[in-house]
Chain A
Amino acid sequence: MTRVRVEVDGVTYEDDVEPRLLLVHYLRDRLGKVGTPIGCDTTNCGACTVLLDGVSVKSCSVLAVQADGRQVTTVEGLGIDGTLHPLQRAFHEEHALQCGFCTPGMIMAALDLLRENAAPSDEEIREGLEGNLCRCTGYQNIVRAVRRAAREMRTPAQEREVTS
């Protein structure tokens, strides 16, 4: 067992973990943060994407011990006091999900993309999300949702009210 100290969605946890424990299992099974799903065994699907020290990673390919001393942000850490994050709202409003299994990973990958590129083209959105598979939507509405959220995140709320 190895002692780890990890900050997840703003809360610090200390736990003894087996080295083989995957970060995604730590989040789900130990911390109860089941907002991050597991969709594959091969690091292909991206459903488990979280931010580790601010950058996107597939949490099924990281060991919990590797997150020791680091910060993890999951989809559960995005909304503040019941208010949805602009990406969450845009996914909802643009019908960017059907079963919703891929959505947490899509949103975390999109957040990472918008951190580096606040105004991506549709092509850049598609490339930014290339590690995330969706079996339902056909991606069109996902791209639309990210575009909408990007616009919203660039413009402060008051300004948006005036212009729209």
Chain B
Amino acid sequence: MIPAAFDYARPTTVEEACAALADAGEDAKVLAGGQSLMPLLRLRLAYPDALIDLDRVEALREIRDEGDALFIGAMATHHQVMRDPLVREHAPLIAKATATVADPAVRHRGTFGGALAHADPAGDLPAVALALDAEFAAVSAERGERRMPAAEFFVDWMTSALEPDEILVGVRVPKLGAGWGVHYEKFHRTAQAWAIVGVACAVRRGQDGVEEARVALTNMGPTPVRATEVERSLQGRAASEDAFKEAAQRAAEGTSPPGDLHGSSEYRAHLARVLTARALTAAAAG
């Protein structure tokens, strides 16, 4: 189908983009890579009055080193992120998970920020950002910049904490130092498919076993969730496969997985336990 008509602005700076978004009012939308928004427009599930296209805001594509963290610009494409030397060195979990997103053509257009702002619980990157304790930077013309932790950014199903006049400019990702291993375990049935369940995981091993474990789940509720019971029960335990399997039994605690044609909520709870054990084992080995 053909999208409903809209006004169109193509700013080249963040300031222009914020001003255009504020001027266009509540029913305007930001267009990033369009890989989620264009299908919604074509199906007329979304019909904004105006689109503010960030495609030519080059400053938002930057990925920079901030010492103890990376700052990944919202418009960095999936293709760019998974190949970026800084990301591969300091945030390999993002590079690994991004490589599982969609297909090459979609990754050429789709963006890191778009995948987060879209706040789809089946998206792979929200859980990854949550596992890495990422901090989100949003800007509006009226109120300037504000920062919020990942746990506050994902509010509900397909709903982020962004206000209608705010643009996500990027995400600050603390670097994981020595001793950390990471893994993203994604379960899907066909090529180029969304996760039925996904597990983003980072494990820091010390001499006496697990010093810290972080586990975040994709598609186990309306927002990505941390498997806090698994994290807690692993602290100080030996980094053995048996310990990981035992801890993973608690992966579905406190979650509310959806039931749909890809699987019932019970099936998802089962998957979360199995995949968490696999993810922990792979992360600790890496």
Residues of A within 8 A of B (CB): 2, 18-20, 22, 25, 41-44, 46, 49, 52, 55-58, 60-63, 65-66, 109, 112-113, 126, 128, 130-132
Return 5 A-B CB contacts under 8 Å, by A number.
A20-B41, A55-B108, A66-B53, A131-B106, A132-B103
CA of A41 to CA of B41, assembled, Å: 10
Using known A-B contacts A43-B35, A43-B39, determine if residue A19 contacts B8 with beta carbons closer than 8 Å: yes
Residues of A within 8 A of B38 (CB): 22, 43, 60-63
Counting CB contacts under 8 A, is B5 at the interface?
Answer: yes
Closest CB of chain B to A111's CB: distance in Å?
11
Cβ–Cβ contact A130 & B192, under 8 A: yes
Closest CB of chain A to B104's CB: distance in Å?
6
Counting CB contacts under 8 A, is B118 at the interface?
Answer: no
Question: Which residue of A is nearest B108, CB measured?
Answer: A55
CA of A2 to CA of B34, assembled, Å: 19
Using known A-B contacts A18-B5, A41-B1, determine if residue A61 contacts B192 with beta carbons closer than 8 Å: no
Sort A-B residue pairs by CB-CB distance and give the 5 closest, nearest first: A131-B103, A19-B8, A61-B38, A130-B191, A56-B105
Q: A52-B108, A63-B38, A131-B104 are in contact. List 9 more A-B contacts (CB 8 A).
A: A19-B6, A19-B8, A41-B43, A42-B43, A43-B106, A56-B108, A61-B34, A61-B106, A131-B106
Cβ–Cβ contact B39 & A61, under 8 A: yes
Using known A-B contacts A46-B103, A113-B104, determine if residue A2 contacts B35 with beta carbons closer than 8 Å: no
Cβ–Cβ contact B108 & A130, under 8 A: no
Closest CB of chain B to A16's CB: distance in Å?
13
**Contact-residue bracket for chain B:** 20 to 34
Residues of B within 8 A of A41 (CB): 1, 39, 42-43
Residues of B within 8 A of A (CB): 1-8, 10, 34-35, 38-39, 41-43, 51, 53, 55, 79, 102-106, 108-109, 191-192
Question: Which residue of A is nearest B7, CB measured?
Answer: A19
Residues of B within 8 A of A20 (CB): 2-6, 41
Using known A-B contacts A19-B51, A42-B43, determine if residue A56 contacts B6 with beta carbons closer than 8 Å: no
Using known A-B contacts A18-B5, A19-B8, A41-B1, determine if residue A62 contacts B39 with beta carbons closer than 8 Å: no
Cβ–Cβ contact A58 & B8, under 8 A: no
Closest CB of chain A to B40's CB: distance in Å?
9
The residue from B3, B4, B105 contacting A46, defined by CB atoms under 8 A apart? B105
Residues of B within 8 A of A63 (CB): 8, 34, 38, 53
Closest CB of chain A to B36's CB: distance in Å?
9
Cβ–Cβ contact A109 & B105, under 8 A: yes
Residues of A within 8 A of B5 (CB): 18-20
CA of A148 to CA of B13, assembled, Å: 45
Using known A-B contacts A43-B38, A130-B192, A131-B102, determine if residue A22 contacts B8 with beta carbons closer than 8 Å: no
Question: Which residue of A is nearest B1, CB measured?
Answer: A41
Residues of A within 8 A of B42 (CB): 22, 41-42, 60
